[in-house]
Amino acid sequence: VAALRYEARAEAYAPASAARALLATMVRKRSNLCVSVDVTRAADLLAVVAAVAPHVCLVKTHIDIVSDFSDDLVVQLQALAQQHDFLIFEDRKFADIGNTVSLQYAAGVHKIASWSHITNAHLVPGPGIIDGLAAVGEPLGRSLLLLAEMSSAGTLARGEYSRECVRAAYAHPFVCGFIAMHRVDDDEAPPAGQAKKDFLILTPGVGLDSTGDGRGQQYRTPDEVVRASGCDVIIVGRGIYGALLKEGVARADAIAEVTRQGERYRDAGWQAYEARLGA
Ligand code: UP6
């Protein structure tokens, strides 16, 4: 799978699925960059997204950290997505029984399923979590990622647990791939009688200027992630919007720096992908 071009892989996914739309966007924009916008004010979230929008295929949110959330934020985010051709990934990390996650996905303040093309879940509760999310998301053409591995030090998501995630993904077409640090789908043979399937690997813990954050996060470069580990999409947060957190930087300068970093990571991610194809 890692040796194939993104355009060739798009066909493996249902025509109306978010996974296929994501691959098509990656090809159109020549970008495998997902920006993770972990800021707590709606205005900052929109400013970061606007600053990097031309360079990203996907915008990842933690909508529950936005202190001044309103439905208007979603409207504006969707308008940016339309205008600049990217998809939206709410990094909700669902982790409850099927019935509860159905409600958390569809309802509450955030109504995630109504606007987020892609979301993710832990498999800790068992496969019922996938059924619960699929009941809501599948009719809307949404796609789900399972957290097969994590970037943080000491993660328990490894080995047999990660392979169990791959098995669950084969059993549920709503799952389009994984949050993982390498091609976990290559560690587990497809079920008897089933062909090997295409899965997307989206990878956080990506940074060009630091190796960690002192709180368990571990960074690797786009080249290590995409070329050497065969992952498909790099997820970058503070490496891109970090300037906005610095004291004493004028806002306009900070926003210009966010754009610059967005371009830098987009280029690094795409170069790593082309190096992988060439290898
Ligand atoms: N994230 C990880 N590691 C995982 C899964 N998710 O870092 O295994 C998420 C974090 C954060 C982003 O919740 O939103 O990816 C990484 O941000 P950073 O680039 O600023 O470290």
ipTM: 1.00
Q: Of the listed 96, 131, 186, 267, which one is catalytic?
A: 96
pLDDT, residue 189, reads 96
pLDDT, residue 279, reads 79
CA-closest candidate to residue 169, choices 182, 158, 185: 185
Distances (CA, A) of 277 to 34, 202, 228: 20, 18, 11
Q: Whole-angstrom distance between the N-terminal and C-terminal Cα of the chain?
A: 13
d(CA 17, ligand 1 centre) in Å: 24
Q: Kindly give the parts of the chain with pLDDT less than 70.
A: none
> How many angstroms separate the CA atoms of 28 and 112, rounded?
26
Q: Kindly report, residue by residue over 36-46, the tens digit of the pLDDT.
A: 999 999 999 99
Torsion, Cα 179 182 185 188, to 10 degrees, reads -120
Is the CB of residue 179 below 6 angstroms from any atom belonging to ligand 1?
yes
Is the CB of residue 90 below 6 angstroms from any atom belonging to ligand 1?
no
Q: Tell whether pTM > 0.95.
A: yes
Q: Is 121 helix (H, G, I), strand (E, B) or coil?
A: strand
- Write the DSSP symbol of residue 228: I
d(CA 204, ligand 1 centre) in Å: 5
93 is catalytic: yes
